[in-house]
Amino acid sequence: TMGDIHIKLFSNECPKTVENFVVHSKNHYYDSLIFHRVIKSFMVQTGDPNGDGTGGESIWGGEFEDEFHPSLKHDKPFTVSMANAGPGTNGSQFFITTTPCPWLDNKHTVFGRVIKGMDVIQDIENVKIDKNDKPLMDVKIITIKIQQ
């Protein structure tokens, strides 16, 4: 494996988003999913069962609303945030930034920060990709373990 990534989740600030991530994780929804979009000096994205950025749904089925919090910004690398297709379209896909991305504030819900395994994110960020930003060799989530 490339290694472990440890993420602190912000359940007080965005309870619904964290619940979605935690329940999906406990149900093994994310197991074996690939990082389907990797853009150097920006972010790595995963959470799509289709593996191409077109799929995924919330634990409630379909999509759910954004949860923006004034203290949670894309102001540093290793920010964990929901991928979406516009306001209120959160499902299962998420990304981890590799640089500050202030233009994403109040467009994508920040729900966590990487606290250990930054080197793993950087290794993923540096894999060879195709013209659609998809890694040439699959980079997969093996499993996500939730600790209280």
- Catalytic one among 20, 24, 45, 90? 45
Dig out the tokens for 10 from the structure: 């912000």
Given the residues 6, 42, 68, 122, the one annotated as active site: 42
Catalytic residue among 24, 36, 64, 84: 84
Is residue 78 flagged as an active site residue? no
Element (H, E) at 24: helix 15-26
Half-sphere exposure of 11 (CA within 13 A, CB side): 10
37 is catalytic: yes
Task: Specify the residue for token string 């994508």.
Answer: 108
The active-site residue out of 37, 74, 90, 111 is: 37
Among 78, 94, 95, 111, the one annotated catalytic: 95
CA distance 21 to 99: 22
Q: Does the annotation mark 106 as catalytic?
A: no
Cα dihedral across residues 95, 99, 105, 111: positive or negative: positive
Report which of 97, 17, 111, 102 is spatially closest to residue 64, judged by C-alpha positions.
17
Q: Is 45 a catalytic residue?
A: yes
Task: Retrieve residue 85's tokens.
Answer: 């297709």
From 9, 35, 104, 111, the catalytic residue: 104
> Looking at 93, 108, 111, 113, which residue is catalytic?
108
Q: Tell me, yes or no, if 36 is annotated catalytic.
A: no
Q: Is 10 a catalytic residue?
A: no
Is 35 designated active site? no
Catalytic residues: 37, 42, 45, 84, 95, 104, 108
